[in-house]
Amino acid sequence: MTLGALWRGWRDVLARQGFATAALDAKLLAGHALGLDSLALALREHEAVLPADAERVAGFMQRRLTGESVARIVGSRDFYGLTFELGAATLEPRPETELLVDMALAALPPGGRLLDLGTGTGCIPIAVLANRPDARGVATDLEPAALAVARANAARHGVEGRLALLPGDWFAALAGAEDAAAGFDLIVSNPPYIESAVIDTLAPEVKDFDPRLALDGGPDGLGPYRVIAASAGRFLVPGGGLLLEIGAGQGAAVGALLAAHGFTAIGVHKDLAGLDRVVGAHHIGGNRHTI
């Protein structure tokens, strides 16, 4: 069997199973299994495939057939022009979250200090710091395994010296942190926001492979926002900003939570699909927290 016949055969298998991106998936997985980029795959498609190579390709394709995403199978995902390692304890960075990075870059003042809550792969603060060499950041996560992935990603992109990674639940991770005592110019987060009862109805690559801890926002999907709204103002400098990714339709509810805790200039921003994606706000009171 030739290399071209191999990946096309798997393309047809994926297509018959209803995968909308069957051709792209088959090319990417075959290339990854064989250590070939897309150009090399095209140039060598008439070459014979060794049985061991065909078996390795089949293993990746079988994983895809279970619903596991291509990114999880290859172990990385591109985001904001950077490649991020993935782990079992992290979500995949998704394109819609790039709006949050755009807004953070615009909101962070020169020499600013950034806090990311529930960082996962670290994609948000790393993308910000990679584009802002003057800035520093702190990122927290409850899962030590997620922090290990974030640490590797920070090193890959040369920002490890400007990003402190702290274990713990939301703001509890900041106890004793020097930047927390000084206050942050901007707090960002892409927290879990899916209603608990909805998770099992999601696509297999989400419900079966994304960590539930990073998906489950409680019965109404707003649990993490209540925690953040209640405490974020105490960790911000006066007039500091807050940017939160949200699920479609959550803008008004999250905005009301922030208003109830002293935030002003609250705005809901839509992504390229026209869906509510980020809530932004400022806190006039600023940092009142004593570490």
How much is the average pLDDT of 260-268?
93
User: In the predicted model, what is the mean pLDDT of residues 85-90?
Assistant: 94
Instruction: Give the model's pLDDT for residue 177.
Output: 67
Whole-number pLDDT of residue 285: 66
pLDDT in tens, 134-187: 999 999 999 999 999 999 999 999 999 999 999 999 998 888 666 666 789 999
Domains in the chain, start-ordered, CATH in brackets?
3-65 (1.10.8), 76-283 (3.40.50.150)
pLDDT-derived band at 288, boundaries 50, 70, 90: very low
Q: Residue 290: is its pLDDT beyond 50?
A: no
pTM to 2 decimals? Answer: 0.89
Q: How far is CA 179 from CA 9, 54, 135, 258, 290, in A?
A: 55, 52, 12, 23, 12
Residue 72, classified by CB atoms within 10 Å of its CB into exposed (0-12), middle (13-18) or buried (19+), is: buried
Average pLDDT over residues 211-240: 92
Helix runs in 118-265, H state only: 123-131, 144-156, 178-182, 204-207, 223-231, 251-260
How far does CA 211 lie from the centroid of its chain? Answer: 12
- Residues 98, 103, 104: CA angle, nearest 5 degrees: 95
